Amino acid sequence: MGVDRSILCSYFMVLIIFSYRPVSVKGQFLSASFYSKACPLAESIVQATMRATFLLQPSIAPAMLKLLYVDCFVQGCDASVLISGPNTEKIADVNLNLRGFEVIDEIKNQIESVCPGVVSCADILALAAREAVVLTKGPYWEVKLGRKDGKVSLAANVKSLPSQTDITEALMIFATHGLNTEDFVALIGAHTIGTAACTSIRDRIVSINGSFINLGINPILLPMLQQSCPKGGTGLSRVALDIGSELVFDTSIFKNILNGSAVLKTDQGLVNIPTIYRMLQQFVTTQRFKTVFQRAMVKLSEIEVKTGLNGEIRRNCSRVN
C-alpha cells in the first residue's frame, strides 16, 4: 500500500521542528530589549546592587570581571561557574580565588522577587561585569540579553584558561572563540582594576634562597612589591596589578607594561611581541583602547551562549533547577 506523500512530508517537518535546538555561537539570538516586557526592572536591579556593593567593597569590580571571563571560556557564557557542589568548576584549582558569588545571589534574589523564573544568571553576570567597569569610570557598552543557564558544571572542564598559559597559547584560545590579538590586549587592560595573589609573583621578587633580587622589574617597582608581598607573608596577601591607579579603569596599566612596571610576568612579556608592542603604544596615546575594549567585552560575553531550549533559567544561581 502506498504512503501519502503529503502526510510523510508533514511528519518529517514535525520531527525537524521538535528536534531543533537553537544554539547561539556569537549571540545572534540575543537582544538588548529581551526583558523589556517580561522584567523591565532587571538592569536597574543589577545596577543598584552593584553600586551599593561597590561603595562598601570596591574590589567587587575586578571580581565580577574575572567571574565572567572564567565562565565564558569554559563551555561558554552560561553561568556554570556559579554552580556549587563537589567537582564543579568553582572548586577547580585555578578558580579557588574567585569571589563575588554572594553579590550575584543577592541580585538574583531581588530579581526573582519581582520576575520569578524570567532572568538568567548568565545575563545577570554579563550585566554585573559591565557595571563593574562603569563604576570604576570605564566605558559603557550595550549588553544583549537572552542567555540561558547551563546545566553542567565540572571541574574537569576547567583545563586551560588563557590566564594560565603563555601568550602564544592564550592567543590561540582567544582565536578559537572569535577574539583576535587586539581583543586580547584590550582585555589585558582589565588588569587596571585587578589584583594578584602575592604567591603568583614571588618568583619575580624573591630568589630561591629567599633573598630579594631584581628579575627584570623596574627598579622603582621592585621595593614596592617587596613591601606589599614580604617574605613569609600569608598566602592571602594580594597586590594591585596597576599600582597607583587600581580603582580607576584607565590606560595606566599599559604605560606600566611599556616602562617595565608590570606586576605579572605574562603582562610584561607582551612587550616582546612587536605587533602587540605597537598596540600597547596605540592604546596609551589614542582613544582606541575604549573602543576595542567595548568590542572585546561584547564578543567575550557572547561566547557560545545557550538560548531557546538549550539551557534553563535557574531559580537559584548556585544550583540547577
Domain 164-300, CATH: 1.10.420.10
CATH 1.10.520.10 boundaries in the chain: 42-161
Distance CA 2, CA 45 (A): 61
Integer angstrom CA distances of residue 139 from 25, 59, 132:
25, 18, 10
> What torsion do the CA atoms of 200, 202, 204, 210 make, to the nearest 10 degrees?
-160
Has 74 been labeled as part of a binding site?
A: yes
Has 80 been labeled as part of a binding site?
A: yes
Contacts of 79 (CB under 8 A, 6+ apart): 71, 120, 121, 122, 124, 125, 147, 149, 150, 314, 317
Has 301 been labeled as part of a binding site?
A: no
Distance CA 207, CA 210 (A): 5
Has 183 been labeled as part of a binding site?
A: no
Distance CA 267, CA 200 (A): 13
Has 177 been labeled as part of a binding site?
A: no
Where helices occur in 73-152 by DSSP H, the ranges are 101-114, 121-135
Residue 238 C-alpha from the chain's centroid? 19
Has 267 been labeled as part of a binding site?
A: no
pTM for the full model? 0.87
CATH 1.10.420.10 boundaries in the chain: 164-300
Has 158 been labeled as part of a binding site?
A: no
pLDDT in tens, 183-240: 999 999 999 998 988 888 877 776 555 555 555 678 888 888 888 888 766 667 889 9
State which H helix or E strand residue 196 sits in: strand 195-197
In whole angstroms, how large is the CA radius of gyration of the chain? 22
Has 242 been labeled as part of a binding site?
A: yes
pLDDT in tens, 116-173: 999 999 999 999 999 999 999 999 999 999 999 999 999 999 986 777 678 999 999 9
Has 112 been labeled as part of a binding site?
A: no
CATH 1.10.10.410 fits 42-161, yes or no: no
pLDDT in tens, 70-81: 999 999 999 999
User: What is the pLDDT, as a whole number, of residue 29?
Assistant: 85
- Taking the chain, what is the end-to-end CA distance rounded to the nearest angstrom? 48
